[in-house]
Amino acid sequence: MNINKNQLQSIHMRRGVSISAILVACVTAIVVVIWVVPKNGTTKMSSLGAGALYEVGRGGFEITVLTSGELSALEQVNVHNALESNAVIIEVVDEGAKVEKGDVLLRLNDEAIQNAIRDAQNSVTTGVNNLEGSTANLAINKKKRDSELAVKQLSIDLAELALQSWEMGEVIAKRQSLDLAVQTAQKDFTRLSGKFESSLKLYEQEFLSKDELDRDEISLLNADAQLKKALLDVKVYNNYTYRQEKQLKESDLRQSKDELDRATERSGVEIQSAEASVLTSQKQLDNKQEGLKKLQDQLEMCVVSSPASGMVVYASSLGEGRWEEGEPIKVGKKLHRNELVMIIPNTEQMVAIVKVNEALSGLIEEGQQTTVVCDAFSDNVFKGEVVSVGVIASGGGWRDPNRRDYTIKIKLSENNTVGLKPSMRCSAEILVGMVEDKLFVPIHALHRKRGIVWVWVQKDGGFEQRAVEIGDFSESFTVINSGLDEGEMILLREPPQNMVTHTLRSEEEL
């Protein structure tokens, strides 16, 4: 009976059992000669009735790592609930349905949002009216300020003109009038003084009567009084009247300027208050409009469309490995904010997500070729390539806390034409190396004790126990570096005691 090694490995991948177990079962059941033909050599196994022999040969075999996991889409889109509250499903697409980009996936109850939008629209209208009122009030205050300041500025201008008119007109005219009065009184006094002296001489000569002399003296006294009065008027004006009038004119100007300053400050406060009212109204309106926009966005999110083409998978179906499985997606289910509702995987290109024990993870590299078999399609063998190796190991959980596995992602080379789906169980064989032109034997022919590896070698009509040094190995074969020669026959199981010719007895040997 001829069994090809690759066929055995294919059987292993399809049924998920180890190659060693298959070989042991075959050896136990077969009582005839078994021939095993590796890639680059031929070995013979002769029948011994109760056992099986294997002829040590030179050749090659593949070094592979067997693992298992599940399928996943290379690309997928997660669909989350974007509503902040009251997200109740009223319509949902069937799980497993094929959808195109833009197709409706689910609809959420929007009644509460519609009511909130109407209230927000009324609030926005009120905000617009408040803003318009505040803006109009600001404009009125500015016009009032401009009018009042114009009046105050006019008062200042009039006060300045009055001051200039007084200084350049009234003061000069008054002083000219006072000077004229002094000059007139001075001339009149001088004239009357000379006349009185003449009259006094004429009276002494009795050319003039006493009464006429008295009249001339009275005229002189009046002229003297007028001169003194004119001089006094000049003094009073310069020392008192001029200063008083100047202070009054300057005071009027200063008060006008102070009124302008007070009006400017008062109107500034009013305008500042009006501007603050406008800013407050604008901010309130902005907040209300933002709230309305947010509600409108929320309304749009009540209809969830597919962001990509693919197959619908409910998030509740992804409960494996969780502490508890979520409530199934259905009409009437209430969703939480940002809750994952479903995923849309692109099933045209699939990947196998498998786990490799940390002891073997160092053998796995990106770009290594693989074969993948899905449990649901055991007759199909898919070629693949390692595209990523996890950088952090995951634990085995409470069942095996000491276990550490690395996640390996394998991209299938062919497009999905047979109906592969995410989460389908699969097994994978990763080619990590090749052995060529080496002596090798089936790995189940080896025995171990106290660090010594040996095989049963046919010799002298029986079997002797011989220590060997092994090299690279796979799930099925191991390289023999020393201890065996090509063509020797080895036993694939323990020999009967009556056929044992030699054993390793010493501490050095065993």
The mean pLDDT value for 379-388 works out to: 92
On whether both 352 and 394 belong to a single domain, the answer is yes
Domain for residue 507, yes or no? no
On whether both 74 and 146 belong to a single domain, the answer is no
Give the DSSP H or E segment for 260.
helix 242-300
Domain for residue 182, yes or no? yes
Taking alpha carbons only, the member of 50, 76, 45, 11 closest to residue 488 is 45
Taking alpha carbons only, the member of 309, 303, 319, 302 closest to residue 344 is 309
**Does the pLDDT value for residue 26 go beyond 60?**
no
How far is Cα 449 from Cα 504, in angstroms, rounded to an integer?
11
Domain for residue 322, yes or no? yes
Cα dihedral value 245, 246, 247, 251, nearest 10: 100
Beta-bridge mates of residue 455: 466
How far is Cα 12 from Cα 5, in angstroms, rounded to an integer?
11
What 8-state DSSP symbol labels residue 315? G
pLDDT tens string 86-95: 889 999 999 8
On whether both 176 and 286 belong to a single domain, the answer is yes
Place of tokens 């939008």: 117
Q: Reduce the DSSP state of residue 403 to 3 states and report it.
A: strand
DSSP secondary structure of 273-289: HHHHHHHHHHHHHHHHH
Domain for residue 94, yes or no? yes
On whether both 489 and 349 belong to a single domain, the answer is yes
On whether both 219 and 139 belong to a single domain, the answer is yes
On whether both 75 and 91 belong to a single domain, the answer is no
Confidence of residue 131 (pLDDT cuts 50, 70, 90): very high
Domain for residue 508, yes or no? no
The pTM of the full predicted model, rounded to 2 decimals, is 0.54
Looking at residue 13, its pLDDT comes to 35
User: Phi and psi of 243, rounded to 5°?
Assistant: -65, -40
Looking up residue 333, the CATH number of its domain turns out to be: 2.40.50
How far is Cα 464 from Cα 456, in angstroms, rounded to an integer?
5
Looking up residue 417, the CATH number of its domain turns out to be: 2.40.30.170
**Does the pLDDT value for residue 15 go beyond 60?**
no
Confidence of residue 27 (pLDDT cuts 50, 70, 90): very low
What sign has the CA pseudo-torsion 496, 502, 506, 508? Answer: negative
On whether both 142 and 273 belong to a single domain, the answer is yes
Place of tokens 């009976």: 1
Distance of CA 83 to the CA centre of its chain: 18
Phi-psi region of 382 (alpha: psi -120 to 50; beta: other; left: phi over 0): beta
The mean pLDDT value for 211-238 works out to: 90
Confidence of residue 326 (pLDDT cuts 50, 70, 90): low
pLDDT tens string 52-85: 788 999 998 888 888 999 998 888 889 999 888 8
pLDDT tens string 335-371: 999 999 998 888 888 899 999 988 888 889 999 999 9
Looking at residue 362, its pLDDT comes to 84
Q: Reduce the DSSP state of residue 395 to 3 states and report it.
A: strand
Looking at residue 347, its pLDDT comes to 82
Does residue 281 or residue 37 have the better pLDDT?
A: 281
Q: Reduce the DSSP state of residue 494 to 3 states and report it.
A: coil
How far is Cα 283 from Cα 290, in angstroms, rounded to an integer?
10
On whether both 189 and 264 belong to a single domain, the answer is yes
The answer for residues whose C-beta is within 8 angstroms of residue 425's C-beta and 6 or more apart is 68, 69, 70, 374, 375, 376
How far is Cα 318 from Cα 322, in angstroms, rounded to an integer?
9
Domain for residue 192, yes or no? yes
How far is Cα 246 from Cα 238, in angstroms, rounded to an integer?
11
DSSP secondary structure of 156-206: HHHHHHHHHHIIIIIHHHHHHHHHHHHHHHHHHHHHHHHHHHHHHHHHHTT
Burial 29-45 (b: 16+ CB within 10 A, else e): eeeeebebebeebebeb
Q: Which amino acid is at 405?
A: D
Looking at residue 315, its pLDDT comes to 85
pLDDT tens string 497-508: 888 888 887 544
Which residues span the domain enclosing 256? Answer: 114-298
Domain for residue 265, yes or no? yes
Count of the separate structural domains present in the chain: 3
Indicate the residue among 266, 298, 330 that finishes a domain.
Answer: 298
Looking at residue 64, its pLDDT comes to 86
The answer for residues whose C-beta is within 8 angstroms of residue 149's C-beta and 6 or more apart is 260, 263, 264, 267
The per-residue pLDDT of the chain, averaged, comes to 83
On whether both 382 and 394 belong to a single domain, the answer is yes
Helix and strand element counts for the chain (H, E): 7, 24
How far is Cα 89 from Cα 67, in angstroms, rounded to an integer?
41
How far is Cα 249 from Cα 159, in angstroms, rounded to an integer?
7
Looking up residue 214, the CATH number of its domain turns out to be: 1.10.287
On whether both 421 and 354 belong to a single domain, the answer is yes
On whether both 43 and 121 belong to a single domain, the answer is no
Domain for residue 160, yes or no? yes
On whether both 352 and 496 belong to a single domain, the answer is yes
The mean pLDDT value for 138-164 works out to: 92
Please give the structure tokens belonging to residue 441: 């034997």
How far is Cα 310 from Cα 101, in angstroms, rounded to an integer?
8
**Does the pLDDT value for residue 7 go beyond 50?**
no
DSSP secondary structure of 466-491: EE-EEEEE-SSEEEEEES--TT-EEE
Does residue 211 or residue 400 have the better pLDDT?
A: 211
Looking at residue 295, its pLDDT comes to 92
